[in-house]
Structure 1
Amino acid sequence: MECTAVVAHDSSVPDPMALDMTATENLQLKEQIRLMSIEMGELKIQATFGLHRFAGSDDDIRFYTRFAGYRHLMIFWSLIEPSVPLMIRTSRAKAVERKKETISVVRPAHTSLQTIDEFFLFLMYLVASLKERDLANRFFLVHQSTVSRIISTWTNYLYTILGSVGIWMEKEDVQANLPKVFQDFSDTQVIVDCTELRCQTPSSLLLQKSGQ
């Protein structure tokens, strides 16, 4: 009597080679998704007109803001940023004036721009002499009237903040650092330096006298 051995294969056990291939494909897909996310983020920044779009170009920062570079601009921003939430918006200030209310702090009204991009917009208006309509087209999420209010708001805010910074030295410090030629003048507080400019004048003394 012959016995035939039948070996049954359990189909529920996955093939190790297939598992390795699936794991490799998953890693590749994850890497592709990561790269696509980075690319989408970069495209979003490029498509949006704002300060971070020019973070890698100090030449553009100098052109639009007159700051030496992005790092210098951000240092200045770090100094004023803590007081930005206390900024009174132009539209809100007018409403308060009409109601004759007394307030200590007014939170900024919501706009479609981040506050740092509002600051960038203001600098572009001030430095590059761009018109409000042009700025509204560049920052395509805002209306021209909003651009006007942003400019008025930041003008008043920076005038107040920068105007409160003392620029004069104490009298004792001035006296301690006076040049020798001024040390005999005890009441010296400020030395105004004059700059000599070359200009063309007629060689004729008569014409020079007549101012022609």
Structure 2
Amino acid sequence: MTNAVYTMIVRALSGVVSDRAAETMLRSVLREQGLAAETVTAQDMQKVLSGPLLARLSTVLPPARARKELLNLSGQLEAQYPKAPTLFTQNVPLATWDEPQTDTTFDDLGLSADDFEFDDPEYGALPTTRTYDLARAEDQDALIQTLGRFSGVQGIMVCRASGEVLRVKAVRDPAGLGGVVAASAMLFQKRALRLLSADLGGQTVCVCPLGGYCVAVVATSQANVGRLIVELQQLRVAA
């Protein structure tokens, strides 16, 4: 049974999005953070509101409005639970390659069809689409910059569907990432897929076909993979 903190937030969130979307969104974010609707505390919920849920809601609403709505919810929660103050800040996450480097490697990932899972369909049509002309170097760089803003992203590769690498940005030499794209391309040819996500323990690899192109992203286990998948779902190539 859900507790009072969860019930309070999901009811308030239902005034911003639909009842079903509020329930699905909040439960998904809690699950990503290792929390449960039955035991989440006010302190935990403040962290969720100012971080993961803000990122998720910003795919549904304009970011400024999403922040305003959740800041209001955070204030209500603080009023009822004074020992759990709001944690909203103005900090914007940087790409992982702008942070101190770690010992991460993409070699020998050993992917097969069984390693992949489908993305969550609940958020497929909600955010605004982003269109890029991937034949242009400027748009390739713009796509990498957009995806690189997500906390925990360690590598991004833009390729042709044939596997030819066009642009790459990563913490370390992403030699193994080319193998991910090659393995994924074979799966895309056999199945009508829009996106592949592989959980490799400490890393998650997401691969998205875009017409005659493909973008691959490697993220750490700390990344909000659900939010990243939602963003990848909205990518389009210019006609």
Give yes or no for TM over 0.5.
Answer: no
TM-score interval (norm. to shorter): under 0.3
- Please identify which structure carries the higher helix content: 1
TM-score, normalised by the number of residues in structure 1 = 0.22
Structure-2-length-normalised TM-score: 0.21
| Greater gyration radius | 1
User: Greater relative contact order (Cα 8 A, min sep 6): structure 1 or 2?
Assistant: 2
